[in-house]
Amino acid sequence: MKSAQLVASIQENIARVIKGKSRVIELAVVSLLARGHLLLEDVPGVGKTTLAHSLARSLDCSFKRIQFTSDLLPSDIVGVSIFNRQKQGFEFVPGPIFANIVLADEINRTTPKTQSSLLEAMSEAQISVDNQTYPLHQPFMVIATQNPAEYHGTFPLPESQLDRFLMRVQIGYPSPEEERKVLERPQSLHPAEALQPVATAQDVLALQQQVDDVLMEDSLLEYLLAIVLATRQSDLLSLGVSTRGALALSRAAKALAFVRGRAYCLPDDIKELAPAVLSHRIMVSRSQGLGHRSFEQSERIIQDLVESVSVPV
């Protein structure tokens, strides 16, 4: 099957479950193809878990869900070495992280210690237990969700970990018509369970390889760097975008171009993705109001900065 058709059918498959959210689905697929991890941030009950679930179901690859709670331990995620009496030695029992797609539900509910145990897994696609390194499955993608409305008993994610997510996406409420369609659906079966896989793990790896070959013209690279530089020089921000952030934006733009059927990036790809890819990597300076960094505020700042950079002609 042609790669363009493959990408389209994955999106269609998910859209059967998540109604009226084609943009969010597209971003999820972009994260997958850019070898990135996705952070879904929204109020409960708008389909964060369902989105992750249906993406995994569409791909015919292993899927594990970890419900993060305050008493979760790192070994609950990565696995543990236990003594095997027959073999007279320790044996590693892999944890739920050993899957192609891992849903980390309500990730901000657990302690920073446990959150950090995800770090190595997310950036290096491997984990270390008892000085032993175990590679994770490929493709590997973490989809984390967090609830921004609750603050009691939550631990905001550390900066280093936020930087490891390719993008942060808000799902939002569906429109009344779409919501009506959801209600009219038979409730006996979870809609994601009914999905048939349309692509294999091998297909995904091949697609990821092809994304690397998407052309980003020199002037676009300069455009991208100008945006990154603008975040570092802005007075509104106390922390700009890191080099990892610039790299993420470039990868995401290539993946978006690929998803949209192009072998080359356009300025639109970069401009469109900048808020989703960059907004969680910055720190709004204290002059912009104390308290928590709201999703909307940082996205707006990024958007304004992008508008201040001129597009190459």
What is the DSSP secondary-structure string of 155-215? -PPPHHHHTTSSEEE---PPPHHHHHHHHHS--SS-GGGGPPP-S-HHHHHHHHHHHHT-B
Contacts of other proteins in 4-23 (CB under 8 A): 4
- The span from the CA of 73 to the CA of 64, in Å, is 17
The correct pick among 220, 249, 252, 255 for binding other proteins (CB under 8 A) is: 220
The correct pick among 3, 67, 116, 285 for binding other proteins (CB under 8 A) is: 3
Question: Does residue number 205 form part of the binding site for other proteins (CB under 8 A)?
Answer: no
The correct pick among 9, 81, 210, 285 for binding other proteins (CB under 8 A) is: 210
Other Cβ atoms less than 10 A from the Cβ of 137: the count is 16
Instruction: Supply the Cα-derived Rg of the chain in whole angstroms.
Output: 20
The correct pick among 73, 215, 247, 283 for binding other proteins (CB under 8 A) is: 215
Task: Report DSSP state, residue 281.
Answer: G
Which one of the spans 32-40, 43-51, 259-267, 283-291 is the region binding other proteins (CB under 8 A)? 259-267
Residue closer to other proteins, measured from CB, 6 or 15? 6
- Cβ(81)–Cβ(93) below 8 Å: yes
Residue closer to other proteins, measured from CB, 194 or 205? 205
In the complex, least distance from residue 2 CB atom to other proteins, rounded to whole angstroms: 5
Question: Does residue number 258 form part of the binding site for other proteins (CB under 8 A)?
Answer: yes
Which one of the spans 16-24, 104-112, 228-236, 254-262 is the region binding other proteins (CB under 8 A)? 254-262
In the complex, least distance from residue 261 CB atom to other proteins, rounded to whole angstroms: 3
Q: Which two tokens stand for residue 229?
A: 């530089």
- The span from the CA of 194 to the CA of 248, in Å, is 33
Residue closer to other proteins, measured from CB, 88 or 310? 310
- The span from the CA of 103 to the CA of 132, in Å, is 24
Q: Determine the angle formed by the axes of helices 22-33 and 243-259, rounding to 10 degrees.
A: 120
- The span from the CA of 164 to the CA of 35, in Å, is 11
Which one of the spans 17-25, 79-87, 91-99, 214-222 is the region binding other proteins (CB under 8 A)? 214-222
Question: Does residue number 174 form part of the binding site for other proteins (CB under 8 A)?
Answer: no
Contacts of other proteins in 274-293 (CB under 8 A): none
What's the order of all strands across the beta sheet hosting 141-146?
A: 63-67, 101-105, 141-146, 38-41, 167-169
- The span from the CA of 164 to the CA of 271, in Å, is 21
The correct pick among 19, 53, 271, 280 for binding other proteins (CB under 8 A) is: 271
The correct pick among 194, 239, 247, 263 for binding other proteins (CB under 8 A) is: 263
Question: Does residue number 261 form part of the binding site for other proteins (CB under 8 A)?
Answer: yes
- The span from the CA of 206 to the CA of 226, in Å, is 31
Which one of the spans 1-9, 34-42, 147-155, 292-300 is the region binding other proteins (CB under 8 A)? 1-9
Q: Give me the residues that bind other proteins (CB under 8 A), please.
A: 2-4, 210, 213-215, 217-218, 220, 257-258, 260-268, 271, 306-311, 313
